[in-house]
Structure 1
Amino acid sequence: MDDGVRRTREWSPASPSLVVRRPRRTVSRRPHRDWDPSSRSPSFAARDHGPKPSEVYGFVGSITTVIATAVYLAWAYTPEPCLRSLGVTYYPSKYWALAVPSFVIVALALSMVIYMGLNFLATPPPTSFGTIFDENSRERVAFSPAMEEERPIEPISDISIVQVNSVMFGDT
């Protein structure tokens, strides 16, 4: 018998989890655990099972939002005699049902306009050289052909405005 074939037949896997079996006879590699709550530590349950706090907060927040919206709409659209017959005697004026959402929408719109205006004030005008050059601008370094062998990659630099104009508008 060939030496390689003998080695293949004599070889046995180091671990039974590496043995390939037919799908019907596959055995789980995980050991069976007793799921008795008294047998595990409290940190095991918190670490491996259960929802994350962010998921719980998101769920509670969404439920709270739905309930608050329903209460708001009930307060806004239910007539005052019906509220009094249900036993609700203290509630804000119906004026605020329209005033608060209007105020919030106008405040958001104005804050966007003010934010854009502040950005325009902080930007230099288009004719300023500050839009072309700043403290991080780098001029192209001209080096001699003798240095090309030592520096195969050209150093990082900005393209000059003259080159940009000649490419975009042509040489005139």
Structure 2
Amino acid sequence: MEDPRSVNSPRRTLSFTKDRRATVSFPDSDDGASGFGVSGEHGPKPSEVYGFVGSISTVVATVIFLVWAYVPESWLHSIGIFYYPSRYWALAIPTYAMVTIVLAIGFYVGLNFLATPPPTSYTTIFDEFSREPSSFISSSEENDQPIEPIADIGINQINDLMFNDLK
């Protein structure tokens, strides 16, 4: 057991104030606590457990699949395994999965193309939130003009700025 007054790190030096009823404590990185701050809960989080079990299950399933796909039938019979699916499925299942994923991605891209208006459509420039700049001119002095409200810049102004200002 470690002496509570021993100093392992610079943060532990602040723990000497605990004897003087300090209300703030700083966690030490040597304590092995995970996460941010001191929550009072100990042990792994459920997401960590699910991740660990999922990764171990994936490794075990991959090993079983590779043994089933590549080990000769005589070896499987010698260790007592007589019932297993046909070797056809060792190629068919990954192939069907890859083709399904490629078709799903292609279908998704196709739906996006169908939902997008053509480049010549005015809906690519204007929508229900578009605002025309107001032509508000104040009668007061030129220097005391208010800030104009937020508005969209017209496409003709953008084209003039980008393409006609070649001087």
The two structures share one fold, judged by TM-score above 0.5: yes
- What is the CA distance between 1:151 and its match in structure 2? 6.6
> Residue 156 in 1 paired to residue 145 in 2?
no
Matched, 1:71 2:64: yes
The aligned residue for residue 122 of structure 1 is 115
Change (3 A) 1:156 1:92: same
Q: Which amino acid aligns with 1:56?
A: V
Which residue of the partner structure matches residue 27 of structure 2? none
Among 18, 27, 48, the alignment partner of 1:29 is 18
Gap regions ≥5 residues in structure 2: 1-11, 22-38
The alignment of Structure 1 onto Structure 2 pairs a total of residues equal to 135
Q: Which residue of 1 aligns with 2:98?
A: 105
Query: Following TM superposition, by how much is the alpha carbon of 1:138 offset from its aligned partner in structure 2, in angstroms?
Result: 0.7
* Cα offset, 1:156, TM superposition: 1.1
Aligned to 2:161: 167
| Bigger-Rg structure (1/2) | 1
User: Relative to total residues, which structure has the larger helix share, 1 or 2?
Assistant: 1
Deviation at 1:150, TM superposition (A): 7.9
**Once the 2 structures are TM-superposed, how far is the Cα of residue 53 of structure 1 from its aligned partner?**
0.7
- Output the CA distance in 2 between the equivalents of 1:154 and 1:116: 41
Residues in 1 aligned to 2:68 and 2:96: alpha-carbon distance in whole angstroms? 18
- The separation in 2 between residues aligned to 1:119 and 1:168, in whole angstroms, is 30
Task: Give the counterpart letter for 1:129 in structure 2.
Answer: Y
SS in 2 for 1:50: coil
TM-aligned CA deviation for residue 48 of structure 1: 1.7
Q: What displacement does 1:94 show? A: 0.4
CA RMSD between the two structures = 2.7
Give the TM-score, by structure 1 length.
0.70
